[in-house]
A and B are shown apart, each in its own frame.
Chain A
C-alpha cells in the first residue's frame, strides 16, 4: 500500500496509457472529423504526461522541453487541420469521414 503523500511513478504512466488508449478508441470509433482530430490531441496530451513523468524520474528538464515542442506542433497542426476541415465542409457540406471518400474510387 503506497503512502498518502507520494504517488507511485508507474501510476502516472498507466494513466497516460489509459488516455492514449482512449485517444486511439476515439480515433477509430468516431466518424466526425473534428472529434477524430480531438482524439489525436488527446493522444498527444497522453504522450506529454509520459514525457513529464520521466522528466521527474530523471530530474531533468529535457522532457519538459519535449512536451513544450509537442504543444507548439499541436498548435500548428490545429491551425492547419481546422482550416482543412473548414474547406472540406465548404466543398461537401459534411463532417462525416465516411462520406469524404471520392479518392477511394
Chain B
C-alpha cells in the first residue's frame, strides 16, 4: 500500500528511514533557527548599543542573555488587538504569509558537507534542489506580499504608504540581486547550493581560498558588494528601511499590528536577513570551505578563536570592571575553553569544522548588517529608486557581461 502511494523506488523501510531522518533534521534545524532568530535580536541590540557607546540590555540574565526569552513572553502575553477598520481576512493572513515565506528558504540551505553520525550518512542540509538558488529567489519574492498586504489591509495611510514603498523597493532590488547572483553561478556552473559550495573548494598557491570572491578568471568581489547592498534593500534594513521609517511613517506597514502578529513581522525580518547572509556565504564566500588549508593549521583556528575568547573572558573576570562580572565572565571563559577543547577531538572535528566556518562567515555578514544599521542614515525614497536603476543595475549588468565573457574565453 505504502509502495503504491509513494511510487516506485520507495520500499517501506527505506521510506520510513528517510522520513525519520528528515524529521530529526528538520527538528534540529528549526530549533537552531528559532534560537538564532531570538538571539540575533539580542546581538543587534548589544552591538548597536556599543556602536552608540551605550551598554544595551543587561538586566535580564547575565549580560542580558535572557532578554529574548523575556521579549517572547512579553509579546505573547500582550493583548492581541484587531482594529475595527481593517479588512480582517487579509489582515490575519499577512503576518502568517510573511513569516512562513521567510522561514521556508532555510530548507535548501546546506550547513556543511556529508557527515556520518552513528553509522548513518547524511548531508547537513534538509534537501538539495537542482534549482536551489532559484527556489530561494522565488520564495523570497513571494514574501513581498506579506508586507504589501499588511499595508493594504490595515486601512491606514501610513501602513499603505509603507506597503507601497516596500513592494516598489523589493521588485526594483530583486533585479540587482538576481544579476549579482548570476555572475558567480557562471563560475561554478550549477544552481544547486551544495554543488555551488563544492565548486569553491581548494586553494590557489596553497593559501588563497578558491571562494567566488577570489576565484578567477574574474573575482566576484563587485558582485558580492552588489548582492550585499541589494540584500539590505530586500530585507528592508537601514539604510533602505523606508517601508518602516519610524519618523515619517510611524512604523510603516506593521503600525496596526500588536502582540504575536507584530512579532511575526519582526521574526520574518530577521529570518530574511539570516537567509540573505546564508545565501551570500554560500554563493560568494565558499560556504563551509575553510579560510586556511589544513597544511597551514586551518583546523586549529576554531580552537584558537574560542581559546582566546575564553582567556580574555577569564582575565576580565579576574579583574572585574563591574561587580557582576566577577561571576559571569569566568563562567563564560570556562565554557569557551571547553568549546575550544571540543574542536581538538578528531572525531568531532569532521562535523564541527564545516559548521564553524559556515557559522563564522554568516556571523560576519550578520555583524555587517547590524554595523551598517548603526552607522548609515536612511536614504530618501527617490534616491533609493535612482540608486537601484542608475547605479546598481548597470554595474551588475556590466559585471555579468565581463564574467560571462571571461568564462567563455577561458573555458
Contact = CB atoms under 8 A, between A and B. Distances in A.
Interface of A: 3-5
Nearest to A5: B7
A56 B344 CA distance: 53
Contacts of A4: 4-5
Nearest to B4: A4
B206 interface: no
A5 to B, nearest CB: 4
A3 to B, nearest CB: 7
Contacts of B4: 3-5
8 contacts: A3-B4, A4-B4, A4-B5, A5-B4, A5-B5, A5-B6, A5-B7, A5-B8
A3 B7 CA distance: 10
Interface of B: 4-8
A44 to B, nearest CB: 18
Contacts, number: 8
A4 B7 CA distance: 8
A4 B6 CA distance: 9
A4 B5 CA distance: 6
Nearest to A6: B7
Nearest to B1: A4
Given A5-B5, A5-B7, 6 more contacts: A3-B4, A4-B4, A4-B5, A5-B4, A5-B6, A5-B8
Contacts of A5: 4-8
A59 to B, nearest CB: 18
Contacts of B6: 5
Contacts of A3: 4
Contacts of B7: 5
A74 B230 CA distance: 26
Nearest to A4: B4
A5 B8 CA distance: 8
Contacts of B5: 4-5
A73 B8 CA distance: 39
A38 to B, nearest CB: 15
B203 to A, nearest CB: 38
A104 to B, nearest CB: 34
Nearest to A3: B4
A5 B7 CA distance: 5
A79 B382 CA distance: 20
B383 to A, nearest CB: 23
A6 to B, nearest CB: 8
Contacts of B8: 5
A65 B208 CA distance: 41
A84 B287 CA distance: 46
A43 B7 CA distance: 32
B148 to A, nearest CB: 15
